[in-house]
Every structure is written in structure tokens, then in C-alpha cells.
Amino acid sequence: MIAPENDDYEYGVVIDAGSSGSRIHVYRWVNPLSSTISEDQLHSVPAIEQSKDWTSKTNPGLSSFEDKPNKAFSHHIKPLLKFAQDIIPKNKIENTPIFIQATAGMRLLKEKKRKLILKNLCDGIKKSTKFFINDCDSQIEVIDGETEGLYGWLSLNYLADHFNNYHRSSSNHFTFGFMDMGGASAQIAFVPSNEEEVEKHREDIATVYLKSVNGDVQEWDIFVSTWLGFGANQARQRYWAQLVNALPENTNSYDDDDFSTRKLYDPCMPKGSKHEFKFKKMSFTAIGLGDFDQCTKSIYPLLLKNIPCKDKPCLFNGVHTPRIDFSKDKFVGVSEYWYVPNDIFKLGGAYDFEKFSENVKNFCNSDWKDLLENNKKGAYNSIPDDFLIDSCFKSNWILNVLHEGFEMPKSIGEAVPEEDHPTFQSLDRINDTELSWTLGRILLYASGQVVLGDKNVRVGVVPSKIEAKEFGKTFISGTVDPYGSSNSGIFGLSFKLLIPLFIIGTVVFHLSKSNKSKWRNLHISRFAAAIESFIRYVKRWRDSTTTVFEMLSEVEEGRFDRPSSEGGNSFRQPTSYPSRSKSMFDFNGHREGRPSTGESSAKRAHSERAGATRPVRGIKPAFSMADFNKLQDRGSHSGL
């Protein structure tokens, strides 16, 4: 559907470049300064709209161009942008930003190949389209699972209307916690309901800044963490390895590890089923036993609850987290939390442990031939056999992660009132809108377009001091840098400062032609001194731990809140340096949340956000929404 021309609307485009393909999303919202905005919308973030047919996908993934990066734009992205051009009014194209956010597949490529692909996309968009692409480093990038998770949290709570009617005078701002389980990783993102937990773990907390249409600042403290290797598919692979390594022949010190026993018995597969898999280049055959209770016991060690927790509390794998109060902190699960419960058991939506676990038990203990027959009749959405055979394991893994990993009580006690939210629910749509993290990215941008309110507050995500210090994570700006990437080092700022110097130099040059040698020598000398001073100034900034652009950001925000060491001098040094970076992703390594350090969070110094009374807050690791989505066109549930 082509959008009707209306000068009140602004548009934005986000491309989710995943491992199996790239999907484009076209969004629009009313300009925050428009006179058509009603009074009741002023205390809310800009209202984002998307028609059902404003999305399209192309296959395979962007990473498939690793050996032909010069074709990435023309063969992959260009057709998607043509799709967007047919929707957006022509007079709006030049002001419509493009965000290409690459995820799973691109993360695995070598840096050189990754950069070549991204550069080809940037060059292609600039040469072949009129879309607004001013800062390629922030608009065309590979994002980590943590950033993706933050966008997912934003998307969820936007669709649930939790950013509407925001009043700073109220401290009661409810939001949903976000849980995601993809193929490779599991993640969590939530605002702790207990303020004492927030203060106790201040250095582990991220802060998201949004602006309502009237300019009011919305400030959200979020804890985010990820567990790489704990997604459904990776957990399955670790489980296979556990079965093989548990064989007596592989625990005998005299054994040559020839894996002569190639037949294994798996309680997490239906009775009578068989599955072949490879381990260390050896082929094995697993035979299903169909034993729910034994499956649950066999899966538990995969959570690695035995890893020491040096900075309590921890959940699993030794990852430190604030304490979760499940009586107040309510969660929504996506991806695998939705697929198996919905496809197999028709139990998507509000979670009931007794009902879900009983269905899983009956399924796991069933004969394989009976399950196949039921699937042919449409009982399980007619999913492929290889998905069906994994469903017992995945269902059990979900139960283990929720109750043993995240320690969610199996019963809260009293029944949940109808007007309250369930402790946990699985969804893939809200109010008939897809729950996609791409909406969160465009929400940041739309909110960043609000010009009213405190000019010292920038819409975006401020990382925690721990993440900034240990992993180099930096500020994610909601807006697009009008001067280009901060990665250009001092060039952007130097260029702007050199313009007036060039003008002055030109004037001095012409004046130097004057016959008044005394006047000429005086001004040339002063100009040379100014140039020399400028060079020393830039060099001093360049050699410091912060870039010029970051220091400029501090000045723009008025963030000088660290008392000077020079006695009573009222000048304050900046406590943190958020820059407009490409993302919060560290390509030099992987991590599974922040391992506990042995130092209590409560003992760490608190940093403050200056120019206002708001403290500087931070970010924790996040997640990947459906890293390896296998199933498509499933049923959906939109309730909350």
C-alpha cells in the first residue's frame, strides 16, 4: 500500500539483516511539531505506525556475500529499498533515514569481509538512492545481541503503551521485562521493580532516555544480560556432547577415545524415534527413550549452576544479576518461548506451569509413530519432522531455564487478579502488530526528533560504567549524527573548527600583501601563534583517552559533574564520555553476560549525569531475537 502524501508524517526504514535473510520495515509517525497532535498525545512518545504490507524479505542472508561484497547492495539491499520507495511519498524520501542493522550471520564474518560488505552498502545507497544516509557507521552496522535486546525491550513496551502518559512526578511506571531465546543465546532485559536493587547494582544498569512529544524526558533503568550458548539449538548441541562424553569409554584414562560406541539413548526424544548427529567429526545415532522425568534431570547440568557466584546474586553460568521479584516484575517471552508452546501445545500466551509441564510430559512420553500421525492431522501445525523430534528437548529446556535458571516460582501463590498481568507470558504479536526489535530502533530515532524540552538530554542508551570500562561500550544515539561518524576521529570537529581559521587565514594572507610591513608581520605572527595553539590543542585531545567528539558531547550536554582536584575550583571534569558510536558491540570477543568479579556492586563508586539531577546509568548484555528462527507463518497471540 502506497502511503498518502501528508506533510505531517515523517518516515523511517529499518532493515533487519539476519542470518537467513534480510527483512525491511517501513514506519511512519507524525512530526512532533505538527499542530495535528492531540492534547492526550503530548505526554507520550511519538506514535509509530506500520501497515501490514509495509514489510518485505529477501533471501539468503547478507553474510552470503562475504566472497562477493561488491554485489551486496545491487543484489540484496537495492530491491528492498525499491520496495520502500514505492511506499514512501517522493517528497519524503530525502528526509527518510535508512538503518541497516546486521545481526547473527554478519557477526560471524571476519572483520575485513564485514567492512567490505558494509562499505558497499553505504556507497550504493548514497549513489543510487535519495534516502537520508549521513552517518554510515551508525546507520549501517553490525549490532550485538545486547543492542538487539534493548531494541526488543523498547518495542515490547511501546506496543504495550508503557511509554504513554508518562509523568516525571510519578515514580510508578510499570514496564514488562523481556525474555528472548533464539537458537544461539538466551537473554533478559528488565527494569527492576525494587529501587534498592537498582541502586545496589547501579554500575550494572543501563539507562534509556526517551522524549515525549511535549519534550518531557523519560528515563528508564534497565538491566540486560545474555547467555551465549544457551539458546535452544546450542543447548541441544551441548546436550549431545554431554551424552557422548558420559560414555564409560570416554572417561577411562586408558581409552583411546575412538568413540567405538556410536549408539546412544536419549530420554529427551520420543520413544522409538532415531536421530543421527555428528560429534568431533564422528557420526552417532540417538535412540529416543521418551522419559520426561529423566530428560529434566539430564538437562539441568547444562545450566552450569555450579559455576561460582562471586558477586551475588547470580542466575546461572555464574552471571551476576539484580534480584528479580517475580511478584512485581512481569515478563514476556518471545522466539522459542513462543514457538514450541504455541505450535505443539497451543499454550502460547499466559503461562501456567502445571498445564504446560503436564502437556510436555505427555508429549515426551509418547510413541514417535503416534506423534507423526498426529502431526499429519495438523495437531502440531504440521511442522517438519526434525522440528517435531526436537520439541521434547526444547520444551524441557524452556522449563529448566525459566524455573532453575531464572528461578521463576512455579506458583506465585495467590491467583493473579484479572486486571493484573501474568508473571510470564509468551507472545509474537501485540495488538495485531509483530513484536520486532526493529520498531525499537525507529522509536529511538522518532523520539530523538523531539526538539522541545531539555536540550542537555540526548535520546539514546547510556551504557553502564562496567560495560563502558571493561568492554568499551559507548552511547547509542537515537538521532543521526549530522556531521558524520565519530569514528572519523578528530576530523569531524577539526573540519568545523578549521573553517573559521581558513577564513581568517585568507584575510591575513591578503592583508600580508600590504606594504605596511610592520602591520603585516604583526598579524602573520599572531595568526601563526593561533595555528600552533590549535595544533597543540587538538594533539592533546587526540592523545587523551577520550576523542574530541566525545568531549564535544560532554560540552553539549553540560556534563561536568566530577569535582576538580584543585581545591575549591568549581569547574568539574566529565565523569563519562558517551559518543555516537557504531554500536555497543565488541568484535574482539564474545561474552555470556558479565561474569561476577568478586567485587560487590554496592561498593563501586556511583557516577552521576551532570547538567541535571539524573544519575548516569548503564547497560548490561542483551540478546538476539530469534537468532535462528526456523519456523515461519505460525499462529500468533496478541494478548497482554
SS3 assignment, position 11: strand
Q: Is 246 annotated as a binding residue?
A: no
Which listed residue (66, 141, 148, 557) is catalytic?
A: 148
What one-character DSSP code corresponds to residue 595? B
CB distance 481 to 138 below 8 Å: yes
Q: How far apart are CA 586 and CA 569, in angstroms?
A: 38
The C-alpha cell at 391 is 520439541
The C-alpha cell at 5 is 502524501
Q: How far apart are CA 122 and CA 572, in angstroms?
A: 40
Rg (CA), the chain: 27
The C-alpha cell at 371 is 506423534
**Other C-beta atoms lying within 10 Å of the C-beta of residue 584:** 25
Of the CA atoms within 13 Å of residue 102, those in its CB half-sphere come to: 26
What one-character DSSP code corresponds to residue 248? G
Q: Which of 287, 164, 158, 255 is nearest to 216 (CA)?
A: 164
Q: How far apart are CA 471 and CA 619, in angstroms?
A: 11
Q: Is 3 annotated as a binding residue?
A: no
Q: What are the CA-CA distances from residue 590 to residues 115, 320, 391, 467, 593 (Å)?
A: 19, 17, 28, 13, 9
Q: How far apart are CA 445 and CA 10, in angstroms?
A: 11
Which are the contacts of 182, defined by CB distance < 8 A and separation ≥ 6?
A: 104, 231, 232, 335, 336, 623, 624, 625, 626, 627, 628, 629
Q: How far apart are CA 48 and CA 27, in angstroms?
A: 7
Query: Looking only at Cα atoms, what is the longest distance across the chain?
Result: 104
- Residues shown for the chain: 640
| Residue 107 identity (one-letter amino acid) | R
Q: Is 185 annotated as a binding residue?
A: yes
DSSP calls for 86-154: TTS-GGGGGG-BEEEEE-HHHHTS-HHHHHHHHHHHHHHHHHH--SB---HHHHEEEPPHHHHHHHHHH
Known catalytic residue: 39?
no
Phi, psi angle pair for 513, to nearest 5°: -75, -10
Q: Which of 156, 224, 235 is nearest to 187 (CA)?
A: 224
List beta partners, residue 109: none
**Other C-beta atoms lying within 10 Å of the C-beta of residue 631:** 15
- Cell 497482554: give the residue: 640
Distance of CA 609 to the CA centre of its chain: 23
CB contact burial 5-33 (16+ within 10 A = b; e otherwise):
eeeebbbbbbbbbbbbbbbbbbbbbbbbe
**Other C-beta atoms lying within 10 Å of the C-beta of residue 602:** 13
Q: How far apart are CA 375 and CA 386, in angstroms?
A: 12
Phi, psi angle pair for 57, to nearest 5°: -130, 145
List beta partners, residue 190: 223
Q: Is 184 annotated as a binding residue?
A: yes
| Residue 99 identity (one-letter amino acid) | F
Q: How far apart are CA 400 and CA 230, in angstroms?
A: 11
The C-alpha cell at 566 is 584543585
Q: Is 183 annotated as a binding residue?
A: yes
- Cell 543501563: give the residue: 206
Distance of CA 147 to the CA centre of its chain: 2
Annotation: binding site for ATP: 183-187
Annotation: binding site: 183-187
Please list the active-site residues.
Answer: 148
